[in-house]
Amino acid sequence: MNPKTIITLVIISLLLMSGCSHPRPQVNYLNESEEEKKARMAWWDDAKFGMFIHWGLYAVPAGEYKGEKIEGIGEWIMNSLRIPISEYEEFAPQFNPVKFDADEWVSIAKQAGMNYIIITSKHHDGFCLWDTEYTDWNIMEATPFRRDILKELADACEKEGIKLGFYYSIMDWHHPDAQAIFEPEYNQWRDSENVNPNFPRYVDEFMKPQLKELLTGYGDIGVLWFDGEWIPDYTSEMGRDIYNYLRNIKPDLIINNRVDKGRQGMEGMDAEGDFAGDFGTPEKQIPATGMPGLKWESCLTMNDTWGYKHFDHNWKSSTTLIRNLIDIASKGGNLLLNVGPTAEGIIPEPSVERLKTMGEWLNVNGESVYGVDPSPVDRPDWGRYTVRDNRIFAHVFDWPADGKLSLQDINGIDRAWVLSDPGRSSLTFEDNGAGVSLQLPANAPDTVATVIVLEKN
């Protein structure tokens, strides 16, 4: 070949190679059809029950700093006690959770009957639980632990068939481009109207690449769960852009509504309008009724805090928690139930006990919770209903003294039995057109919730 031909060939191959690296055209996922969304969210809809994990440096003070105990939630201690960034940073060298065992956490979730886990990759304090390239304020570089917590959890989840998702705070009390500019040494949330002029740079050069790391280095991520979207720096336009950016990286990703600005306070559902986000996020509360056509997930704490507080002993009973799950399923939502591990890496024992009890109940009665549709009729005063195929499940919380259960507006039932009864002994009932009157055994087989199966042919 003469030199001219070689040069021409080199130029042609260079052109071809550069063609290969052209980015794919971006798809606008904000225009997705209802059917597409339904298919994408099918696993999440059926899953019903997930574990929320709030874990970070705030587990070190555990709600108490310099002799002062905070009243509010543990992960907000930096803000509540006005701890300057430089002082807060001193928690990092003290964070060495040598008892952390990802397999054990996943097994606790699995035995509780949970189908997915959402963990704080970065909470409001900006501290990152993974090996991120974009800040040293992370587990590998700022702590003696030097283990990628998210990677270990991702591997454990994959082994057990549990879906993993990441919580990510948009508000960041540590990143200089996201700080409240009028008081940089504190950098915290005080209903500010003031915006940081560098915030758009934080979104483009920090948030987006970090989110890409989370979506590409940790296996099959099911959900991104945003929070801290209420700061005035963050706009709806940014939110819609982020939503599309993420779905273009991972088309089947599910993203909560806090990616945009539509959320109405702690009630968690969007205001009227065209907002990005796949599901509403009621926080520390359960909607009063179902909301046909809307997807939502209540996130609840077992005591009063999300991040570990050593003196919060205000635990809900396992009965309350099981009934909360049933209530949520009967209204068409999911339950994301929180644990706040200690700075040693231990899920507190009261949480483990309650999860175990929930798992035992679900082991027997799971068919009446997973994959169900919401109640077809108004909530009865004795409990809740869920539906699956040709079965209605009546969850009885308050067992009638005379053994007679009145099921208003339920008709056309052909068989009834107690779900936990392996022999499926038939219960007798009368159908009077306006409802069913069911004769129950004298005593409740399960005082937490006994499930009666009402089957149609």
Q: Interface with ligand H79 by CB under 6 A: which residues? A: 73, 75-76, 227, 230, 265-266, 283, 299, 306
Q: How far apart are CA 372 and CA 359, in angstroms?
A: 17
Q: At what angle do helices 102-111 and 149-160 cross, to 10 degrees?
A: 40
CB of 299 to ligand H79, least distance (A): 5
Choice between 53 and 451, CB closer to ligand H79: 53
Half-sphere exposure of 100 (CA within 13 A, CB side): 26
The residue nearest ligand H79 at its CB is 230
CB of 195 to ligand H79, least distance (A): 15
The answer to whether residues 413 and 405 touch, using CB atoms and an 8 Å cutoff, is: no
Q: How far apart are CA 283 and CA 78, in angstroms?
A: 21
Q: How far apart are CA 251 and CA 253, in angstroms?
A: 6
CB of 35 to ligand H79, least distance (A): 31
Choice between 213 and 297, CB closer to ligand H79: 297
Q: Could you please report the per-residue DSSP string of 123-143? A: -TT--BSS--SS-S-BTTTSS
List, in sequence order, the alpha helices (H) in 64-185. Answer: 77-80, 85-88, 102-111, 149-160
Q: Tell me the C-alpha to C-alpha distance, in Å, between residue 7 and each of 3, 15, 16, 20.
A: 6, 12, 14, 20
Choice between 258 and 395, CB closer to ligand H79: 258
CB of 280 to ligand H79, least distance (A): 13
Return the DSSP state at 203: I
CB of 256 to ligand H79, least distance (A): 10
Q: What are the residues facing 387 on neighbouring strands?
A: 373, 392
CB of 281 to ligand H79, least distance (A): 8
CB of 352 to ligand H79, least distance (A): 21
Choice between 284 and 415, CB closer to ligand H79: 284
Strand pairing report for 383-388 and 334-339: unpaired
Choice between 227 and 327, CB closer to ligand H79: 227
CB of 53 to ligand H79, least distance (A): 11
Strand pairing report for 404-408 and 391-396: unpaired
CB of 305 to ligand H79, least distance (A): 9
Choice between 191 and 349, CB closer to ligand H79: 191
Return phi, psi of residue 214, to 5°. -65, -30
The answer to whether residues 440 and 399 touch, using CB atoms and an 8 Å cutoff, is: yes
Choice between 265 and 293, CB closer to ligand H79: 265
* Torsion over CA: 134, 137, 143, 149 (sign): negative
Q: What are the residues facing 388 on neighbouring strands?
A: 391
The answer to whether residues 223 and 239 touch, using CB atoms and an 8 Å cutoff, is: no
Choice between 119 and 413, CB closer to ligand H79: 119
Choice between 162 and 299, CB closer to ligand H79: 299
Contacts with 256 (C-beta within 8 Å, 6 or more apart), sequence order:
223, 224, 225, 226, 277, 278, 279, 281, 297
Give the CA dihedral 231, 123, 306, 354, nearest 10 degrees: 140
Q: Tell me the C-alpha to C-alpha distance, in Å, between residue 379 and each of 290, 374, 410.
A: 10, 10, 12
Choice between 337 and 440, CB closer to ligand H79: 337
Quick check: helix, strand or coil at residue 430?
A: strand
CB of 390 to ligand H79, least distance (A): 38
Choice between 76 and 397, CB closer to ligand H79: 76
CB of 167 to ligand H79, least distance (A): 7
